[in-house]
């Protein structure tokens, strides 16, 4: 695996663990007038790391990172680890279905589009499995898509060749 893939793998696993830990410790939090699970504020970054990992390491490494992140998260919250693992795996398949065909028309476009789809799938499944109210779905998706979009555009502005190619 190349250096960029190792960085993306490490970032993705770390973000998954941090998001699950934050949710297990804080539950629902309100910030900027929006109420979402604590990990939601980090999950958008996980989607970006996942896209880089898919690009540089391949789909198998993405699935491995999801399973490792869930396994480590199970040490402090088995219920959240299950919800997170299932939600990330299913949303990853939705992401594959969108990102891969759009990639040739631009990575930024593909990343944002696939992450919107992934955010919806991930949010609904995570909230449902973890036992959080589904009434928070719209806010959770907004936060995930917002953080993902800001991060993707910031990376593109800093390194146009890395994202837009």
The pLDDT value given to residue 165: 43
Q: Structure pTM?
A: 0.85
The pLDDT value given to residue 160: 52
Nearest to 117 by CA among 145, 89, 76, 157: 145
The pLDDT value given to residue 109: 84
pLDDT in tens, the chain (165 residues): 799 999 999 999 999 999 999 999 999 999 889 999 999 988 888 888 888 898 899 989 999 999 999 999 999 999 999 999 999 889 888 888 888 888 888 878 888 888 889 899 999 999 999 999 999 899 999 998 888 888 878 877 776 554 444
The pLDDT value given to residue 55: 85
- The neighbour count for residue 131, using CB atoms within 10 Å, is 9
The pLDDT value given to residue 161: 56
- The neighbour count for residue 98, using CB atoms within 10 Å, is 18
Domains of the chain listed by start with CATH number: 3-164 (1.10.1760.20)
């Amino acid at each position: 695996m190349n250096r960029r893939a190792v960085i993306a793998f490490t970032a993705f696993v770390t973000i998954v663990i941090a998001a699950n830990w934050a949710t297990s410790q804080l539950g629902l939090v309100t910030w900027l007038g929006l109420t979402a699970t604590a990990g939601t504020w980090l999950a958008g970054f996980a989607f970006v790391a996942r896209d880089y990992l898919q690009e540089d390491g391949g789909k198998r490494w993405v699935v491995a990172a999801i399973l490792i992140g869930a396994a480590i998260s199970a040490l402090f919250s088995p219920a959240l680890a299950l919800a997170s693992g299932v939600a990330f795996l299913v949303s990853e398949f939705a992401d594959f279905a969108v990102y891969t065909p759009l990639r040739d028309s631009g990575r930024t476009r593909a990343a944002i589009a696939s992450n919107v789809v992934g955010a919806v799938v991930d949010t609904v499944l995570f909230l449902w499995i973890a036992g959080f109210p589904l009434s928070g779905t719209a806010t959770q998706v907004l936060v995930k898509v917002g953080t993902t979009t800001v991060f993707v555009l910031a990376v593109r502005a800093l390194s146009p060749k890395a994202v837009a190619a």
